[in-house]
Amino acid sequence: MTTPLQTTFVPADADSIAEIEGRVAVFLDPEGAMDPLARRVNRLTRGALARLAESDAFRRMKPGEGHALSMPQGVRAEAVLVVKLPKKPSEEEARKAGAAIARFNASVPLTVLLGARPLPALLSGILMRAYAFDAYRKREEDKPEPNRALSVMVNDAEAAEAAAGAVVAVAEGVFFTRDLVSEPANVLTTTEFADRLEALRDLGLEVEVLDEDALEELGMRTLLAVSRGSETPARVVVMQWKGGGDEKPLALVGKGVVFDTGGISIKPSGGMEEMTMDMGGAGVVAGAMKALAMRKAKANVVGLVGLVENMPDGRAQRPGDVVKSMKGDTVEVINTDAEGRLVLADVLWYAQDRFEPAAMIDLATLTGAVIIALGHENAGIFANDDAIADALLAAAKAEGEGAWRLPLGPAYDKKLKSRVADMANVGGRDAGSITAAQFLQRFVKKETPWVHIDIAGVAYRKDDTDFAPKGATGWGVRTLDRLVRDRYER
Ligand code: BES
Ligand code: MN
Ligand code: ZN
């Protein structure tokens, strides 16, 4: 519903600062040293910045935080945000500063006096916070104050323009994910989801939609079993980005349960409306594919999403049912609410069977247990390969997206014993996120480096963070984009 803020770059011109309308953001070194643009603002405001630099308020501010001067004398702007930031900020400090600027950017145009400071992390911070999902608010006064056009005054406008391209591409990807996760399930049905993915063809992605006949033909019976109770049909969508010659692709796999009632093992009604975000994994895969295509990444990446709805009905699967996966292993469905792993089992197998990927990463709002373990600050990471796990954790850290590795092991796997089938779909209350990951690992070939990311706690948040307004966060799009850049791009 939202596209990243309209951003323009203008060459630094201290003389024009007095006449800038709207709001202005300017930077002050922690020691109070001023660049030429800050010096000009200081002169025009008769020393307001110098006074702030010597104040206790400024001393208490952390790098990346801002202090607003409203209706300052000597300039036309209605407010000036003074942001504390070193000349060579860390990415984290720069993103924080960006978030502070985005919060300051409301209802009037904003000019950021960046000068020679590095742009990408700061712009990313601004764009991440400049998002609102207000598609269904009819009354103007109910909508959040819109972010207005952004103009950035820089020493080298051409270089800034070039650097901004990739940042905006990734922001578009994040916003796509947030839009998908924010949509209610009566709008974002499986077929509507598939339609929105097909539209990505315009960006040069190859998109295929597998319908129920095709899934039946492939033997994806654990995925189809979840979908049986729903009126909206199962779909698997395959998105290929071919930017990397003939190398084997990285495969991204997403859980796309457009609504999770729990099925016959129905969930309690309190809070059930949140399960409209149970397609979050598929949303992140879609957003990452969009970002890679928009910035024309020099890598081969294939995104696969399993789209189903988990509903109770006369045709729905029941506890005790035994279903056969595409791999051939049978599963006893003890709990129909442990449906995500049934969907992923078949899509993971299909991804390896068809693409022999160089590595495979799945994302899923898989377990409530991961929220008990890690809260909303970190996604749970599981892997069969230390090198790719370390690379993913490093990418997440660099992007400021929380991630924490949890263990796998044969003792946990034992919990999945079934009295009738090759395995049960649940392993009991203890270590619920780990036994879920063990279930997935049964559908991962030994030779495939694989990471599973449980995003149940981080895909959607009830409070604002530095990087996202409350609601859908798009957690993972930036991490995956960074991982591709660091590890898979030529
Ligand atoms: N979609 C849920 C997990 C979830 C919970 C996501 C809270 C986001 C927020 C998943 O399908 C589920 O229901 N998992 C069960 C598994 C259990 C039945 C073994 C759970 O976590 O309770
Ligand atoms: Mn469930
Ligand atoms: Zn679910």
Q: What is the pLDDT of residue 139?
A: 84
Architecture of the domain defined by 7-155: 3-Layer(aba) Sandwich (3.40)
The answer, yes or no, to whether residue 10 has pLDDT greater than 80, is yes
Find the range with the poorest average confidence among 124-133, 289-298, 318-327, 442-451. Answer: 124-133
For the stretch 258-308, pLDDT in tens is: 999 999 999 999 999 999 999 999 999 999 999 999 999 999 999 999 999
364-369-370-373 Cα dihedral, nearest 10 degrees: 180
In terms of Cα–Cα distance, which of 416, 396, 412 is closest to 467? Answer: 396
Greatest alpha-carbon span in the chain: 82
Q: What is the mean pLDDT of residues 188-201?
A: 98
H or E element at residue 213:
helix 212-218
Using an 8 Å Cβ cutoff, are 205 and 214 in contact?
no
Q: Check pocket membership of 339 for ligand 1, CB cut-off 6 A.
A: yes
In terms of Cα–Cα distance, which of 418, 338, 151, 364 is closest to 254? Answer: 364
- Give the bridge partners for 210, in sequence order: 236
Listing DSSP states for 214-225 in one string gives HHHHHT-HHHHH
Active site residue 341: yes
Q: Check pocket membership of 338 for ligand 1, CB cut-off 6 A.
A: yes
Measured in Å, residue 310 CA sits from the centre of ligand 2 at: 8
Active site residue 201: no
Provide the 10 A C-beta neighbour count for residue 463.
9
Cα separation, 473 vs 487, in Å, equals 24
Question: Which residue among 367, 370, 439 has the greatest number of ligand 1 atoms within 8 angstroms of its CB, and so is best to mutate?
Answer: 367
User: Backbone dihedral region of 188: left (phi > 0), alpha (psi from -120 to 50 degrees) or beta?
Assistant: beta
Measured in Å, residue 231 CA sits from the centre of ligand 1 at: 22
Using an 8 Å Cβ cutoff, are 82 and 52 in contact?
yes
Using an 8 Å Cβ cutoff, are 357 and 251 in contact?
yes
Q: Check pocket membership of 432 for ligand 1, CB cut-off 6 A.
A: yes
Q: Check pocket membership of 52 for ligand 1, CB cut-off 6 A.
A: no
Q: What is the mean pLDDT of residues 31-60?
A: 97
Measured in Å, residue 260 CA sits from the centre of ligand 1 at: 9
Measured in Å, residue 366 CA sits from the centre of ligand 2 at: 8
Q: What is the mean pLDDT of residues 152-174?
A: 96
Measured in Å, residue 484 CA sits from the centre of ligand 3 at: 27
Q: Check pocket membership of 456 for ligand 1, CB cut-off 6 A.
A: yes
Q: Who's near 209: CB < 8 A, 6+ residues apart? A: 194, 197, 198, 235, 236, 237
Q: Check pocket membership of 340 for ligand 1, CB cut-off 6 A.
A: yes
The fold of the 170-488 domain, in CATH, is: Aminopeptidase (3.40.630)
Measured in Å, residue 426 CA sits from the centre of ligand 3 at: 13
User: Backbone dihedral region of 316: left (phi > 0), alpha (psi from -120 to 50 degrees) or beta?
Assistant: beta
Q: What is the pLDDT of residue 1?
A: 67
Question: Which residue among 266, 337, 339, 460 has the greatest number of ligand 1 atoms within 8 angstroms of its CB, and so is best to mutate?
Answer: 337
- 3-state DSSP assignment of residue 178: helix
Q: What is the mean pLDDT of residues 401-415?
A: 98
Domain extent listing, the chain: 7-155, 170-488
For the stretch 372-407, pLDDT in tens is: 999 999 999 999 999 999 999 999 999 999 999 999
Residue owning the nearest CA to atom 14 of ligand 1? 367
91-92-98-104 Cα dihedral, nearest 10 degrees: -160
To the nearest whole percent, how much of the chain has pLDDT over 90?
A: 93
Q: What is the mean pLDDT of the chain?
A: 97
Alpha helices in 237-378 (DSSP H): 280-294, 340-355, 369-374
Q: Check pocket membership of 258 for ligand 1, CB cut-off 6 A.
A: no
Distance of alpha carbon 209 from the chain centroid: 23
Q: Who's near 453: CB < 8 A, 6+ residues apart? A: 281, 361, 362, 363, 364, 379, 380, 381, 382, 392, 403, 476
Q: Are strands 322-324 and 330-332 parallel, antiparallel or unpaired?
A: antiparallel
The catalytic position among 267, 298, 318, 397 is: 267
Q: What angle do CA 84, 90, 95 make, to 5 degrees?
A: 70
Q: Check pocket membership of 426 for ligand 1, CB cut-off 6 A.
A: yes
In terms of Cα–Cα distance, which of 104, 41, 166 is closest to 484? Answer: 166
The answer, yes or no, to whether residue 209 has pLDDT greater than 70, is yes
Cα separation, 26 vs 113, in Å, equals 5
In terms of Cα–Cα distance, which of 85, 117, 122, 82 is closest to 102? Answer: 122
Q: Check pocket membership of 278 for ligand 1, CB cut-off 6 A.
A: yes
The answer, yes or no, to whether residue 31 has pLDDT greater than 80, is yes
Residue owning the nearest CA to atom 7 of ligand 1? 368
Q: What are phi and psi of 224, to 5 degrees?
A: -65, -30
Q: What is the pLDDT of residue 257?
A: 99
Q: Check pocket membership of 260 for ligand 1, CB cut-off 6 A.
A: yes
The answer, yes or no, to whether residue 348 has pLDDT greater than 90, is yes
For the stretch 82-92, pLDDT in tens is: 999 999 999 99
Measured in Å, residue 139 CA sits from the centre of ligand 1 at: 35
Residue owning the nearest CA to atom 22 of ligand 1? 368
The answer, yes or no, to whether residue 138 has pLDDT greater than 90, is no
Q: What is the pLDDT of residue 147?
A: 77
Using an 8 Å Cβ cutoff, are 358 and 301 in contact?
no
